């Protein structure tokens, strides 16, 4: 922030820049004496105060420097503490990440083991079911084959019996020698004994 003296000097410069030049001159200007005296008077009044303030600042420079150094050291200590805390937090995060990674790996291995066991159990069950089904089918095959053989034997016997009966009936029928219908008609009409011939 600029001091009042600096502000007054700027006002004097601005005032000089705003003054008009004398006729036929490019270097001399016309100044309002009262206005210039007012600015210079305020400048003289403020100068001692500013000088005292600067002297006080110079006199207290050691204290100001010491205070600045104390503040700087405090900031450095705070920064170091913050850095240590960040490092500590980073180490904690790294340990937590390592533990989490170990947990994930263990869980993955356990899940894989469970999956492998389940797959093996499923294969065993599938093979057992196939073996059981095969045994059932083998038993059914034996029963059906035995029944088929039994019924084939019985069927063959039945066919042979029917064939024998058929032959007997056919033979007996042949022995009967029944005349044809036309011959029976002639015998009735003319009294001819066809069988006697």
Any long-range contacts for 46-52 (C-beta under 8 Å, 24+ apart)? 46/3, 46/4, 46/5, 46/8, 47/5, 50/3, 50/4, 50/5
CA distance 32 to 19: 9
Decide: 8 and 49 in contact? Cβ < 8 Å: no
Inform me whether the pLDDT recorded for 154 exceeds 90: no
What is residue 156's predicted lDDT score, i.e. its pLDDT? Answer: 85
98-125 per-position pLDDT tens digit: 987 887 778 688 869 877 887 887 788 6
Mean pLDDT of 23-36: 91
SS (H, E, C) 46-113: HHHHHHHHHHHHHHCHHHHHHHHHHHHHHHHHHHHHHHHHHHHHHHHHHHHHHHHHHHHHHHHHHHHH
What is residue 194's predicted lDDT score, i.e. its pLDDT? Answer: 47
95-105 per-position pLDDT tens digit: 877 987 887 77
pLDDT-derived band at 11, boundaries 50, 70, 90: very high
CA distance 104 to 118: 21
CA distance 42 to 8: 8
Every domain of the chain and the residues it spans: 4-59
Residue keyed to tokens 């089918």? 137
32-87 per-position pLDDT tens digit: 999 999 999 998 988 887 787 777 778 787 787 888 889 989 999 998 999 989 88
What is residue 193's predicted lDDT score, i.e. its pLDDT? Answer: 54
What is residue 130's predicted lDDT score, i.e. its pLDDT? Answer: 80
């Amino acid at each position: 922030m600029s001091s009042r003296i600096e502000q007054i000097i700027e006002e004097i410069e601005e005032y000089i820049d705003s003054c008009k030049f004398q006729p036929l001159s490019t270097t001399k200007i016309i100044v309002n004496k009262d206005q210039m005296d007012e600015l210079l008077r305020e400048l003289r009044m403020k100068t001692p105060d500013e000088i005292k303030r600067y002297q006080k600042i110079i006199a207290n420079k050691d204290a100001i420097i010491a205070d600045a150094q104390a503040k700087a050291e405090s900031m450095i200590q705070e920064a170091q503490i913050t850095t240590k805390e960040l490092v500590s937090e980073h180490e904690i995060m790294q340990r937590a990440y390592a533990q989490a990674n170990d947990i994930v790996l263990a869980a993955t291995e356990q899940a894989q083991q469970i999956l492998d066991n389940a797959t093996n159990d499923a294969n065993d069950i599938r093979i057992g079911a196939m073996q059981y089904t095969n045994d059932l089918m083998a038993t059914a095959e034996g029963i059906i084959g035995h029944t088929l053989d039994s019924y084939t034997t019985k069927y063959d016997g039945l066919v042979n019996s029917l064939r024998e009966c058929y032959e007997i009936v056919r033979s007996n029928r042949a022995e009967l020698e029944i005349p044809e219908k036309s011959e029976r008609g002639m015998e009735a009409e003319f009294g001819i004994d066809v069988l006697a011939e």
